């Protein structure tokens, strides 16, 4: 499987949709699963009201099994943070059912809060406190916290303990956020873009932490725009688009059935029938031609047999199986057509 460390962002140029995207994965059905760490059914989150209403989450179904790492992916504005905030008990659901560790995230907030560690997408501690003072302040709000030094060590921050928060680099601040998130020994950890802005070594350190959390039995939900990170860490991926989960499974399951691609430098002659392979017409005038196929071996063999018989030299030949990135980008491409300025799905608060 091909991976990339390039963040897959929604603002990448939209490409053609060749109608080859696999169908949306059906979400969990029936009543909420009381054994799941998180169980969501029919979640709607609407901002505003009347004609200005905007549905950021539009009927989301999700089960997160205990003891697993789930990667919640999606383009900018897909609704990841809006969903997490409801799960975290920071905002009410407009509609739908949410259970966290078998509890209601708002009505049973005291119980859920104690057992959950939350890293918000944007946070901010007062700049005039030092790292150690901030950590101690946070420590005093928790019921069974790790010692402050242990939490700082986990994020390699002990050496910065006496530095004011305002003087920390962006990545160091993020690590301080994370140290506080993990200080309360949470059994459920919700991380909204924990590694954005971190250098590669710090990212790897966060990966090691997440793996250690899972080994210790915790459940982790992580959002990220780094698809390599999602593949490396998550047992299961949930891809959101336009307020719904549209694909679920392992990276391999998600890429299955998605076309592989063969790319080569533009040829000066017409291509033959490629045994199921289809030339991406939008690449015809480009320096590189792209052929998509669901049967890479057969199409590649047809191409190479033709080239040998016709004595054609194919330069810059590259063949790759479908990747999480290619599925993700095909979902992102569809984003253009989706405005979501809607009539609300139904009544609701
Ligand atoms: N308070 C708000 N009022 C109106 N719209 C909002 C509000 N908060 C978020 N939205 C909109 O809801 C949509 C989903 O936002 P959300 O922050 O959940 O996306 P996201 O998937 O977390 O995106 P990102 O990857 O950029 O963090 C966006 O279009 C956003 O503009
Ligand atoms: Mg977000």
pLDDT digits (tens, 9 = 90+) for 171-223: 899 999 999 999 999 999 999 999 998 899 889 989 999 999 999 999 999 99
Q: Answer with the one of 238, 255, 272 that is the final residue of a domain.
A: 255
- Can you tell me the distance from the alpha carbon of 229 to that of 72, in angstroms, rounded to the nearest whole number? 11
Non-local (6+) Cβ contacts of 81 within 8 A are 121, 192, 223
Instruction: Name which of 21, 94, 19, 14 is nearest 56 in CA terms.
Output: 94
pLDDT of residue 23: 57
- Asked whether residue 311 is domain-assigned, the answer is yes
Give the Å distance between the CA of 77 and the centre of ligand 2: 7
pLDDT at 22 over 60: no
Q: Answer with the one of 216, 232, 255 that is the final residue of a domain.
A: 255
Q: Which of 77, 239, 342 to mutate to test the pocket of ligand 1 (most atoms within 8 A of CB)?
A: 77
- Asked whether residue 30 is domain-assigned, the answer is no
For atom 17 of ligand 1, the residue with the nearest CA is 81
- Can you tell me the distance from the alpha carbon of 39 to that of 16, in angstroms, rounded to the nearest whole number? 35
Give the Å distance between the CA of 88 and the centre of ligand 1: 16
**Count of C-beta atoms within a 10 Å radius of residue 291:** 24
**Count of C-beta atoms within a 10 Å radius of residue 172:** 20
Note whether 91 and 224 are same-domain residues.
yes
Q: Are strands 236-241 and 69-74 parallel, antiparallel or unpaired?
A: parallel
| pLDDT average, residue stretch 151-157 | 94
Q: Which ligand gives the minimal distance to the CA of 78?
A: 1
Q: Which ligand gives the minimal distance to the CA of 87?
A: 1
Q: Answer with the one of 229, 255, 281 that is the final residue of a domain.
A: 255
- Asked whether residue 139 is domain-assigned, the answer is yes
- Asked whether residue 3 is domain-assigned, the answer is no
Ion ligand 2: residues, Cβ under 5 Å: 80-81, 121
- Asked whether residue 251 is domain-assigned, the answer is yes
DSSP 14: P
Res. 60 pLDDT band, cuts 50 70 90: very high
Q: pTM for the full model? A: 0.82
- Asked whether residue 333 is domain-assigned, the answer is no
Note whether 140 and 241 are same-domain residues.
yes
Q: Which of 10, 49, 54, 56 to mutate to test the pocket of ligand 1 (most atoms within 8 A of CB)?
A: 56
φ/ψ (deg, to 5) at 52:
-90, 0
Note whether 164 and 63 are same-domain residues.
yes
Note whether 284 and 198 are same-domain residues.
no
Give the Å distance between the CA of 306 and the centre of ligand 2: 48
DSSP 107: T
Note whether 69 and 215 are same-domain residues.
yes
Note whether 174 and 228 are same-domain residues.
yes
For atom 19 of ligand 1, the residue with the nearest CA is 77
| pLDDT average, residue stretch 59-76 | 97
Note whether 116 and 199 are same-domain residues.
yes
pLDDT of residue 342: 41
- Asked whether residue 349 is domain-assigned, the answer is no
Is the Cβ–Cβ distance between 309 and 20 less than 8 Å?
Answer: no
Instruction: Name which of 165, 188, 153, 175 is nearest 36 in CA terms.
Output: 188
The backbone region for 232, taken as left when phi is positive above 0, alpha when psi lies in -120 to 50, beta otherwise, is alpha
pLDDT at 336 over 90: no
Query: What is the domain-level CATH number for residue 242?
Result: 3.40.50.300
- As for ligand 1, residues whose beta carbon falls within 6 Å of it are 47-48, 54, 56, 74, 76-82, 121
Note whether 49 and 103 are same-domain residues.
yes
Q: Name the residue range of residue 201's domain.
A: 38-255
Which contiguous run of DSSP H or E holds residue 178?
Answer: helix 170-183
Non-local (6+) Cβ contacts of 297 within 8 A are none
User: Using alpha carbons only, what angle is made at residue 158 by residues 134 and 145, rounded to the nearest 5 degrees?
Assistant: 55
What percent of the chain shows pLDDT beyond 90? Answer: 71
Q: Which ligand gives the minimal distance to the CA of 243?
A: 1
Note whether 220 and 167 are same-domain residues.
yes
Q: Extract long-range pairs of 294-297: CB within 8 Å, 24+ residues apart.
A: 294/20, 294/257, 294/259, 294/260, 296/260, 296/262, 296/321
Overall number of domains in the chain: 2
Note whether 244 and 103 are same-domain residues.
yes
Q: Is 170 exposed, middle or buried (0-12, 13-18, 19+ CB in 10 A)?
A: exposed
- Asked whether residue 335 is domain-assigned, the answer is no
The backbone region for 270, taken as left when phi is positive above 0, alpha when psi lies in -120 to 50, beta otherwise, is beta
Note whether 149 and 190 are same-domain residues.
yes
Note whether 111 and 182 are same-domain residues.
yes
pLDDT of residue 40: 97
């Amino acid at each position: 499987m091909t991976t990339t460390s390039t963040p897959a962002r929604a603002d990448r140029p939209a490409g053609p949709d060749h109608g080859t995207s696999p169908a949306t994965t059906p979400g969990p059905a029936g009543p909420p699963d009381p054994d799941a760490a998180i169980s969501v059914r029919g979640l709607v989150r609407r901002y505003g009201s009347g004609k200005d209403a905007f549905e950021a989450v539009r009927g989301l179904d999700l089960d997160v099994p205990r003891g697993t790492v789930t990667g919640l992916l999606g383009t900018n504005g897909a609704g990841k943070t809006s969903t997490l905030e409801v799960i975290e008990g920071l905002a009410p659901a407009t509609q739908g059912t949410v259970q966290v560790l078998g509890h209601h995230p708002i009505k049973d907030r005291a119980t859920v809060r104690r057992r959950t560690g939350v890293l918000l997408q944007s946070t901010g501690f007062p700049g005039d406190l030092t790292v150690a003072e901030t950590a101690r302040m946070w420590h005093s709000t928790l019921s069974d916290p790790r010692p402050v030094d242990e939490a700082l060590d986990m994020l390699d921050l002990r050496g910065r303990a006496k530095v004011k928060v305002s003087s920390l680099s962006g990545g160091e601040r993020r690590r301080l956020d994370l140290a506080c998130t993990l200080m309360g020994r949470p059994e459920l950890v919700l991380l909204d873009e924990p590694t954005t802005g971190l250098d590669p070594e710090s990212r790897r350190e966060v990966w090691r932490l997440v793996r250690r959390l899972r080994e210790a039995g915790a459940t982790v939900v992580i959002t990220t725009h780094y698809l390599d990170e999602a593949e490396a860490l998550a047992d299961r991926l949930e891809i959101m688009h336009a307020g719904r989960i549209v694909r679920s499974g392992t990276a391999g399951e998600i890429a299955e059935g998605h076309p592989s691609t063969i790319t080569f430098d533009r040829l000066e002659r017409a291509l033959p029938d490629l045994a199921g392979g289809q030339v991406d017409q939008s690449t015809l005038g480009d320096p590189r031609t792209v052929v998509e196929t669901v049967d890479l071996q057969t199409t590649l063999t047809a191409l190479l047999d033709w080239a040998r018989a016709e004595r054609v030299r194919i330069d810059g030949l590259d063949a790759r199986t479908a990747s999480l990135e290619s599925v993700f980008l095909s979902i992102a491409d569809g984003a253009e057509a989706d405005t979501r300025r809607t009539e609300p799905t139904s009544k609701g608060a």
